[in-house]
Amino acid sequence: MKAALAQGLTVKAVGAGHSFTGIAVAPGVLLELDDMQGLVSADAGTGLVTLLGGTRLHRIPGLLARHGLAMQNLGDIDRQSIAGAISTGTHGTGVDFGGIGTQVRGLTMVTADGEFLRIDAEHNAEMLPGAVVGLGALGIVVEVTLQCVPTFLLHAVDEPVPLEEALDTLHERAADADHLEFYWHPHTEVALMKTQRRLPESARRRPIPRLRHWTDETVLANGVFGAFCAVSRFAPAVIPPFNRLAVKLTGDAEYTDRSHRVLIHRRAVRFREMEYAIASEHVVTAFQAIRSLIAERGWRVEFPVEVRFAAGDELWMSTASGRNSAYIAVHRYWRVDPREYFDAVEQIMLDLGGRPHWGKLHSLTDGQLRERYPRFDDFVALRDRLDPGRLFGNRHLERILGV
């Protein structure tokens, strides 16, 4: 940092490069934290764990297991760094569980003047709600302290549910489960529902047999699906029948395993994604509008639509700030132009007060975002305080936070 300052260069830290946006694009120095991984400290009694900022999420369960601890919740992909995950508002699902940022109890940043800044309950506590989902705009996050929980298992039921029934009972199902999400393949009338309930570590594990897990995840969900996506670019007519076949061949299982093995999935097929958070009471309205949109436009959409939930929180730039939220994510194969589809879905979500995921594609600017975040100006003021010269700035941050 001090070397960059001396040469008048901007600095941008990058995690795993998982974000679809330009949030980590570096006009000057690109700083990779790949060698800053590992456990700094862990207290099994309090559950407080400090990790180096570059630690990948997929390494964390192994680091915590020897202390009998686990992260309270995870997203469905674990390739990100812990610093990148909290900075972009990564979340999982569950009406009683917030995003990963809600597990943060402290962090250490290197600031624009090249000094360490500790932010936690005892140090600069007033900054913590603003600094957790920091968008890479405040400093370089080098350590993160998490509130972890005792290791636990999840009992999972994956089942196809008639779509109308799923929508009619969605809120009841979500309230009854610890974690719930569903996938809908366009051109079908089925929701692939995933319901999970937490069990103590002492419960009996009944994991998916290895052969079936390999068949479902490696062969079908990645291998066959990847080939289908490639073919569908040139023959869109194959999309509806393939999607109907997919809901018959996948999404039907019951198993119990360690939490991270249930929550995490391997995604090998490349795609582009847009995801919006809305107040949870609007989720069925939003989903039905997207469903009607696809039918009315006659689009052939190869990737499923994903629906998840999160508890409201008090983090200034969290997509769930101040309200219990539902998330709807849309995807397209990476070789397909997603703009027409994404633009139309985005308008539906904006009309319902939606907030875009910070690491996924959207078109909003600072003026539009200010209307959607009550603490937006407080965050900008914190940025002015910590990085007045915009050492950590880039064109993407200029668009979403203002020049």
Q: What CATH number was assigned to the domain covering residues 2-150+364-401?
A: 3.30.465.10
Give tens-digit pLDDT for 310-320: 999 999 999 99
Give tens-digit pLDDT for 222-275: 899 999 999 999 999 999 999 999 888 887 899 999 999 999 988 889 999 999
Which residues have a Cβ under 8 Å from the Cβ of 132 and sit 6 or more positions away? 86, 101, 104, 107, 315, 318
**Four-point Cα dihedral 217, 164, 176, 193, nearest 10:** 0
Find out whether 68 and 151 touch, Cβ atoms under 8 Å. yes
Question: What span, in angstroms and rounded, lies between the C-alpha atoms of 84 and 100?
Answer: 11
- Is the pLDDT assigned to residue 87 strictly greater than 80? yes
Find out whether 90 and 317 touch, Cβ atoms under 8 Å. no
- Is the pLDDT assigned to residue 283 strictly greater than 80? yes
Domain map (residue ranges) of the chain? 2-150+364-401, 152-356
- Is the pLDDT assigned to residue 218 strictly greater than 90? no
Give tens-digit pLDDT for 168-215: 999 999 999 999 999 999 999 999 999 999 999 999 999 999 888 888
Where are the strands (E) in 230-316, listed by range? Answer: 253-258, 271-279, 305-310
Residue 221's pLDDT is 82
- Is the pLDDT assigned to residue 95 strictly greater than 80? yes
Residue 325's pLDDT is 98
Question: What span, in angstroms and rounded, lies between the C-alpha atoms of 205 and 355?
Answer: 38
Question: What span, in angstroms and rounded, lies between the C-alpha atoms of 381 and 100?
Answer: 24
- The percent of residues above 70 in pLDDT, for the chain, comes to 100
Residue 74's pLDDT is 95
Average pLDDT rounded to a whole number, residues 55-78? 96
For domain 152-356, say whether CATH 3.40.462.10 is its number. Answer: yes
**Packing angle of the helix pair 339-351, 283-297 (nearest 10 deg):** 150
Give tens-digit pLDDT for 353-378: 999 999 999 999 999 999 999 999 99
Residue 88's pLDDT is 97
In this structure, which long-range contacts are made by residues 37-40, counting pairs with CB atoms below 8 Å and at least 24 apart in sequence? 38/63, 39/63, 39/64, 40/143
Residue 403's pLDDT is 86
Question: What span, in angstroms and rounded, lies between the C-alpha atoms of 308 and 73?
Answer: 13
Average pLDDT rounded to a whole number, residues 32-45? 96
Which residues have a Cβ under 8 Å from the Cβ of 162 and sit 6 or more positions away? 189, 190, 191
- Please tell me the pTM assigned to this model: 0.95
Question: What span, in angstroms and rounded, lies between the C-alpha atoms of 251 and 158?
Answer: 5
